[in-house]
Amino acid sequence: MVLKVIFFSFIVAVIRLHIALQAFQDATLEFSQMKVPTISKILPLFKIIQLHLEKALKDPDLIKDKSSMKYWGLKTAFKCGLEKINIYLEKALAGDYPLLSAGK
């Protein structure tokens, strides 16, 4: 019985990780296209990833897991990803290029 609970918790954690990483996979595929202007796509995709990670961090199961043992560092990974995407968003918004890509 205990093994079933541990296995189920592991499967839930893997599914949550897969869902969280799907946003990164989608962004990677989008940016890997050749001859496609990306500046107009960067900000919306960064924002989508940022919102996705923020939503994942507000997941009730992650909030209840005070020991961080149930999801084996998943909360930490989400926080690190969010910190990194915030750095890239800040850099992307620092210049005038986002305004140029918006057009009229």
What is the tens place of the pLDDT at every residue in 13-62? Answer: 888 888 878 877 887 777 777 666 666 777 887 888 899 889 888 888 77
Higher-scoring residue by pLDDT: 85, 62: 85
Q: Where are the domains of the chain?
A: 2-102
pLDDT of residue 104: 44
pTM assigned to the model: 0.57
8 A C-beta contact, residue 42 and residue 92: yes
Distances (CA, A) of 78 to 42, 44, 69, 82: 20, 19, 15, 6
Interval 65-82: pLDDT, tens: 666 566 667 788 888 889
